[in-house]
Structure 1
Amino acid sequence: MPTVSQFGALAARSHAVITTHQHAGGAYPASPTFSAYRGYAWLRDGGFTAEGVSRFGDVTSANRFHDWVSRVLADRRGQVDDLRALRSAGAAVPIERMLPTRFTFDGQNGSDPWWDFQTDGYGIWLWSVVTHAERHGLDLARWRPGIDVAVDFLTAFWDLPCFDWWEEHDEHRHVSTLGAIHGGLRAVAFALDNHAAAETADAARQLALTEGVRGGHLTKWLGSDAVDGSLPACVVPFGLVDAGDPIATATLAKVSADLDVDGGVHRFTADVFYGGGQWLLLSALLGWNLAQAGDRAGAWRHLTWIADHATADGEFPEQVPDHLLHPDSRQEWLDKWGPVATPLLWSHGMYLILADELGLLR
């Protein structure tokens, strides 16, 4: 097991990896070297990465990221207004006209095909920017142009099926997506007294709890029985269900039983991406929830597992192949996209969050 100083050194290294690769314009690249991610920034990845940086105390880096997002979204004010008008008129809105899930560093849409309609990132960014501002006593007026666009987009389209956190299954409505929307809109509702955000957050929560619970736990999508490694986020930090609520307890227990192996957490049991390995960021997410629930031993178990999977130069990959769910599928992804994304900035951001929960950043 690493020493406390080694855990702290990995936190410093995580901050250095994130800020070294942060684009001059403020974007956090998903991964600077991975073929499919290089050149793009996601609101989902970046929102969690910014939270880790904010907890580390680097206000400037987090501000620059939120500045970048606000500019990118403000530039799409007219697009969102047009989309909302179409929906208000009862017209079908083609999925290809929706805001994308990822942007180039200069704020443009990607030029290559992608699984783009994903609403979770907009909720995650809203939660991230509000949380950052509250932590450091900052005025949200700096980011209001982007916040207003994200709120208007989500309040209009929160209930539509879309791709999930893993950019799959756009035919479903995903509980983790509803959780992220709830968390982001609830944060805005409290911070800015926004009634539309509050009403939509409540509606997302009601839908998830009505159709997204089976066997007493949250499920991967509405009507499913399975769980997903992203579901703990519905408890901490997004508060779709309160920590300690029986549904929250059952969800964490089910994710642990079905997806946690020796401290590393899988995305879902049918995952074939790179053979279905264990994801460091999901290990941190579950550990974060355990820490908040008072299980510090469990949280340390996950932090230790993550630290044990750093490369020799202190970089964290997206996933590791220690315990593959579908090993026969690994080679096809290696052939298609090359080695697993390393470093993944989201992994580093989540390490910082869990390290902070355990007192290592103070």
Structure 2
Amino acid sequence: MKLSRGTAPLSTDERTRLVDLARRSHAVITRYQDAGGAYPASPTFSAYRGFAWLRDGSFTAEGISRYGDVDSANRFHDWSAGVLTRRRSEVDSLVSARAANELPPVERMLPTRFTFTGENGSDPWWDFQTDGYGMWLWAAVTHAHRHGADAGRWLPGFEVAVDYLLTSWDRPCYDWWEEHVEHRHVSTLGAIRGGLVAVAEFLDPARHDAALTVAEEIHTLVLTEGVVDGHLTKWLGTSDVDGSLPSCVVPFGLANGPLADATLAAVAADLDVDGGVHRFTADVFYGGGQWLLLSALLGWNLAARGDLDGALRHLRWIAAQADADGHMPEQVPHHLLHPGSRDEWIARWGTVANPLLWSHGMYLILADELGLLEDRT
């Protein structure tokens, strides 16, 4: 459901401002997209500059695809497929090790971030994260269906990502926030399942069946070990929630019905303050501020359920965080959960990432859910 021009509860001035910010988000993303297709996480932030994440890039590409910039999204998916295709031998080695009942060390697993030329970074990072591989499969297939793109051009990359996930999906790894490598995270499992289900139609029979089998195993595992008090949990075996959990409802479809209802309600109750959403209650990163992309994720879910007023509340909050240049940061220091930890992160890495391309991509997604991209031209 989307707001039509006739029913949108917006003044002309506010609608114009929100649409202009969508145009600005598209301009920011495409300005900083590398010539080779990668979307940098942030062009200025010390720890992100010069690197691209499949996780950030997949949601950024979804926003760009919804905006109608097929070329930009295609170039990102071309880049991603190329990076993964060049990892074919690495993944074959990992598959062989698991087939021999060996558990490759974390250091052998594929990275979570790449240089713009597709290489590993030279400095240490929290690299074993499987969510982005599932997200990319979902984003590429969704884009292809939306615009009639030839997904076959990405098939070699699809196969590498699928083989990697089939051999590693059940292992503990770092979460969306590059923390807690000792746990199996529900949002990670949801992203993997969403990607495998989305891409299955393009796979050969053996991979197709294996992908759907693992997708069902993930669903059963989460329902068995990742639900407390009727809602999804941050990782298997805890009762805590996380701001990334709405992705398990929309777009990845792991939860529906009462489980989806309770999950969204738990996230809103624990982490949403005035429209801005925190990552999790123990978050000390830059003091534990409110994240624009998580506000958009919750708003996206609300819009998909027909709660347009709730979704618009989140869009308005995000828009209010943009600076005078229309740049959107990673997080803002409102309602800090642990303010005493903020200064140590500023001393370590500088001020918060701004712009963060993922924030801009999520704004485009939510703006589209609310019908605002109809006015972009």
- Normalising by the smaller structure, the TM-score range is over 0.9
Partner residue in 2 for 1:105:
116
CA deviation map 1:148-183 (0-9, x unaligned): 000000011100000000000000000000000010
Determine which of 250, 254, 257 is the counterpart of 1:236: 250
Determine which of 54, 62, 69 is the counterpart of 1:51: 62
- State the Cα distance separating 1:300 from its structure 2 match: 0.1
- State the Cα distance separating 1:191 from its structure 2 match: 4.7
Partner residue in 1 for 2:3:
none
CA contact (8 A) 1:176 1:234 kept: yes
Determine which of 145, 166, 170 is the counterpart of 1:134: 145
Partner residue in 1 for 2:241:
227
- State the Cα distance separating 1:190 from its structure 2 match: 3.8
Aligned amino acid, residue 212 of structure 1: G
Does residue 320 of the first structure (1) align with residue 338 of the second (2)? no
RMSD of aligned alpha carbons:
0.9
Indicate the SS of the match to 1:265.
strand
Distance in 2 (CA, whole Å) between partners of 1:112 and 1:249 is 41
Aligned amino acid, residue 121 of structure 2: G
Aligned amino acid, residue 146 of structure 1: G
Partner residue in 2 for 1:198:
212
Partner residue in 2 for 1:266:
278
Distance in 1 (CA, whole Å) between partners of 2:176 and 2:153 is 28
Partner residue in 2 for 1:80:
91
CA contact (8 A) 1:130 1:191 kept: no
Distance in 2 (CA, whole Å) between partners of 1:206 and 1:171 is 21
Indicate the SS of the match to 2:372.
coil
- Pairwise mapping of residues 100-179 of structure 1 onto structure 2 (< 5 A)? 100-179=111-190
Partner residue in 1 for 2:31:
20
Partner residue in 2 for 1:357:
369
CA contact (8 A) 1:70 1:143 kept: yes
Determine which of 345, 348, 354 is the counterpart of 2:360: 348
Partner residue in 2 for 1:215:
229
Distance in 1 (CA, whole Å) between partners of 2:236 and 2:281 is 17
Aligned amino acid, residue 142 of structure 2: T
CA contact (8 A) 2:200 2:212 kept: yes
Deviates more, 1:280-289 or 1:132-141: 132-141
Determine which of 284, 288, 292 is the counterpart of 1:276: 288
The unaligned stretches of length 5 or more in structure 1 are: none
Q: TM-score, normalised by structure 1?
A: 0.98
The unaligned stretches of length 5 or more in structure 2 are: 1-9
Aligned amino acid, residue 116 of structure 1: D
Distance in 1 (CA, whole Å) between partners of 2:154 and 2:369 is 27
Distance in 2 (CA, whole Å) between partners of 1:236 and 1:91 is 35
Indicate the SS of the match to 2:122.
coil
- State the Cα distance separating 1:252 from its structure 2 match: 0.2
CA deviation map 1:282-309 (0-9, x unaligned): 0000000000111100000000000000
Distance in 1 (CA, whole Å) between partners of 2:56 and 2:119 is 17
Indicate the SS of the match to 2:252.
coil
Distance in 2 (CA, whole Å) between partners of 1:99 and 1:26 is 20
Distance in 2 (CA, whole Å) between partners of 1:93 and 1:154 is 14
Does residue 8 of the first structure (1) align with residue 22 of the second (2)? no
- State the Cα distance separating 1:203 from its structure 2 match: 1.1
Task: Tell me the matched-pair count.
Answer: 360
Indicate the SS of the match to 1:3.
helix
Distance in 1 (CA, whole Å) between partners of 2:311 and 2:68 is 22
CA contact (8 A) 1:228 1:268 kept: yes
CA deviation map 1:174-225 (0-9, x unaligned): 0000000010000012454722111111111111111000000000000000
Determine which of 330, 337, 356 is the counterpart of 2:349: 337
CA contact (8 A) 1:162 1:171 kept: yes
- Identity rate of aligned residues, in percent? 71
Distance in 1 (CA, whole Å) between partners of 2:362 and 2:223 is 27
Indicate the SS of the match to 2:81.
helix
Aligned amino acid, residue 344 of structure 2: E
CA contact (8 A) 1:18 1:345 kept: yes
Partner residue in 2 for 1:247:
259
Indicate the SS of the match to 2:214.
helix
Deviation above 6 Å: which 4+ runs of structure 1? none
Indicate the SS of the match to 2:373.
coil
- State the Cα distance separating 1:317 from its structure 2 match: 0.1
